[in-house]
């Protein structure tokens, strides 16, 4: 259950980030994702430039697919979770096709999780 919950939580978080910029062109979305993700993918996941560029493109593509799901009021929460799980599986298959090893995919997932946590903590109101 825990293994299923964390990726779905990540999918919702990435979708929320994508939703925050719904009017971006594909090029603008790719640049936004590159700005947020590429540095950590190089430094923490230890990917090559080529691998990081491919991962960034896959993340941008996944976010573009998640955005309309997030805003679709006709879908139940369960239906959204199912669609996010399908997108996550599709994303992971594309990661393997780069090719990335299982260890590299785990490192990428860890980086995505860390970025999600940082974005969530930065979006919380602070008590001053």
Q: What confidence tens digit (pLDDT) does each residue in 109-123 have?
A: 999 999 999 988 887
Considering its fold, how many domains does the chain have in total? 1
Is residue 109 within 8 Å of 88, Cβ to Cβ? no
Does any domain span residue 121? no
In a domain, residue 117? The reply is no
Assess if residue 83 is contained within a domain. Answer: yes
pLDDT at 6 over 50: no
Residue 21: what pLDDT? 57
Q: How many other CB atoms sit within 10 Å of the CB of residue 69? A: 21
Domain hosting 44: range is 19-112
Q: What percent of the chain has pLDDT over 70?
A: 79
Give the end-to-end CA distance of the chain in Å, rounded to a whole number. 38
Q: 13 pLDDT exceeds 90?
A: no
What is the token pair recorded at 109? Answer: 């997932």
Is residue 11 a part of any domain in this protein? no
The answer to whether position 49 is within a domain reads yes
More confident residue, 126 or 44: 44
Structural domain contains residue 1 = no
Indicate whether 91 belongs to any domain. yes
Is 125 inside a domain boundary? no
Instruction: Kindly report the pTM of this predicted structure.
Output: 0.79
Residues ≥6 apart with Cβ < 8 Å to 111: 37, 40, 41, 44, 45
CB-based burial label for 120 (10 Å; 0-12, 13-18, 19+): exposed
pLDDT single digits (tens) 39-82? 999 999 999 999 999 999 999 999 999 999 999 999 999 999 99
Q: Which class for 19: exposed (0-12), middle (13-18), buried (19 or more C-beta within 10 A)?
A: middle
């Amino acid at each position: 259950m825990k293994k299923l919950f964390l990726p779905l939580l990540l999918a919702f978080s990435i979708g929320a980030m994508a939703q925050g910029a719904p009017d971006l062109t594909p090029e603008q979305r790719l640049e936004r994702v590159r700005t947020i993700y590429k540095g950590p993918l190089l430094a923490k996941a230890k990917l090559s430039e080529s691998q990081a560029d491919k991962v960034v493109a896959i993340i941008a593509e996944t976010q573009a697919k998640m955005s309309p799901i997030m805003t679709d009021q006709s879908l139940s929460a369960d239906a959204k979770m199912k669609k996010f799980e399908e997108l996550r599986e599709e994303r992971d298959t594309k990661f393997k096709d780069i090719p990335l090893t299982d260890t590299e995919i785990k490192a990428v997932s860890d980086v995505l999780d860390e970025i999600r946590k940082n974005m969530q903590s930065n979006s919380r109101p602070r008590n001053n």
